[in-house]
Amino acid sequence: MDLLVAKFGGTSVGDGSRIKKAAQSVVNEYMKGNQIVVVVSAVNKSTDDLIGLSDEAVGEGLTDRQRAEIVAMGELTSARLFSAAVESLGVKSEYIDPYNDLWPVITDSDPLEAKIDFKSTDVKMQGIKTLLNQGIIPVICGFLGKGPRGEITTLGRGGSDVSAFLIGHCLDASEVVIVTDVEGVMSTDPNKIESAKLLDEITVEEMRDLATHGAQVLHPRALTYKDPVISAKIINFEHGDLSSKGTRIIGPHSDDVLKGVSLYKNPISLIAVVGEAMLKKSGLFAGLSGCLAKEKINIFGISAAQNSMSAFVDKADSNKAYHLLHQFVVETDVLSSLSLGSDTAMITFVSPDIIEKPGIISDITEPLRKNDINIVEIISSQTAIVLFVDWKDGEKARDLINEVLK
């Protein structure tokens, strides 16, 4: 017997007939002998409507607490509707909202971007297991949490994806199915480029980066709770079938990929190319990477400034890369010279907090300053910060950054 968590997004429960269709798909799965937990979003755009209403009615005076209470009505309503639709098909169901004693998702007190208290949530999930063992289909409000004083909190816009993966994790589910309004994860947003292609599968690492960079199809924090042993997929509601193929999300492939610090095993060499006003000339990046690619030299990073750009390569390749890039510089009129730097250690810090935590760069660089470790280069994106320090300082720098994470 499999245990499935199925999350229905706003469009998938967008009107009465869709709710009916969704409930039927859940019941079909149940009839196959599986256990199933439903996580629902608010109907269609009702979260936006509730936000719009409260802005109009109250405006700036609205407190975050009031806002959370009001937007919660979206999921409070859809869970009741969905559960009633399941019962109408002859299977026992209970809606679970934060006012219910069995409510499992426990958070801090932040009304609009609540942080999950994983341990308490994990313990509370026992109640949901009991319901499942009684043959009941629990329909849980996505997006909502319960704070320390029993108050309603919300997990941030799009947060019902987080609810689904969190619940799947705590219940040791066999599969998390995200039901949405597209066929699955595509090569890009199909509402922006029509010819976007469906992907059969995507790794947790890729999906997380895609989501962090704005692809709405899954909330970036949802995958924090994706266990390698839990299957996960994104499918289209139109099929009315939870066994549709869609896009499978696989991995993660190692424990520390979503959050952690790693030190690359070999020294990395920085080769800096200089030239005046080089940023005004197009095609330089392509030229630089192209001449290294011809010799199959892997580039670990590239950084650019007003008058220089640096390529980071494994020390084993540095001599060859140096000669190839010298040739490139000589042949390119806006470039004048290049230099091969000393050996550096590459430390990669990956965390979903990077995008939303102000001061995170100073948090990790401050201990290095205190220990007199010089940062040779730093490259940062929305999901990773890569630091280059003298090779001899590599291990110490990694350990210091690890301390910050604790």
The H or E element that residue 262 is part of is strand 260-263
Kindly write down the DSSP assignment for every residue of 264-276, as one continuous string. -SS-EEEEEEE-T
Question: Which of 22, 172, 176 shows the shortest CA–CA distance to 84?
Answer: 22
End-to-end C-alpha distance for the chain, whole angstroms: 38
Show the binding pattern over residues 202-221: x = contacts ligand ADP (CB under 6 A), - = does not. Answer: -------------xxx----
Q: Please state the closest distance from residue 153 (CB atom) to ligand ASP, in A.
A: 13
185 vs 387 by CB, closer to ligand ADP:
185
41 vs 308 by CB, closer to ligand ASP:
41
How far, rounded to the nearest angstrom, does the alpha carbon of residue 378 sit from its chain's CA centroid? 23
If DSSP codes are grouped into helix, strand and coil, which group holds residue 21?
helix
The answer to the question of residue 158 lying near Mg ion (CB under 5 A) is: yes
The answer to the question of residue 47 lying near ligand ASP (CB under 6 A) is: yes
The answer to the question of residue 163 lying near ligand ADP (CB under 6 A) is: no
Q: Which does 66 bind (CB under 5 to 8 A by kind): ligand ASP, ligand ADP, Mg ion, none?
A: none
Q: Count residues binding ligand ADP (CB under 6 A).
A: 18
156 vs 260 by CB, closer to Mg ion:
156
Q: Which two tokens stand for residue 54?
A: 């409260």
Integer angstrom CA distances of residue 64 from 55, 312, 357 = 12, 46, 19
The answer to the question of residue 143 lying near ligand ASP (CB under 6 A) is: yes
**Cβ proximity of 126 and 136 under 8 Å:** no
Q: Please state the closest distance from residue 221 (CB atom) to ligand ADP, in A.
A: 13
Q: Which of 159, 246, 252, 287 binds ligand ASP (CB under 6 A)?
A: 159
Rounded to whole angstroms, how far apart are CA atoms 142 and 117?
16
- The residue range among 114-122, 178-186, 274-282, 350-358 that interacts with ligand ADP, by the rule CB under 6 A, is 178-186
Dihedral angle sign, alpha carbons of residues 348, 349, 354, 357: negative
**Cβ proximity of 346 and 312 under 8 Å:** yes
The answer to the question of residue 47 lying near ligand ADP (CB under 6 A) is: no
The residue length of the chain stands at 406
**Residues near ligand ADP (CB under 6 A):** 9-12, 41, 158, 180-182, 185-186, 188-191, 215-217
**Residues near ligand ASP (CB under 6 A):** 9-10, 41-42, 47, 74, 142-143, 157-161
**Residues near Mg ion (CB under 5 A):** 158
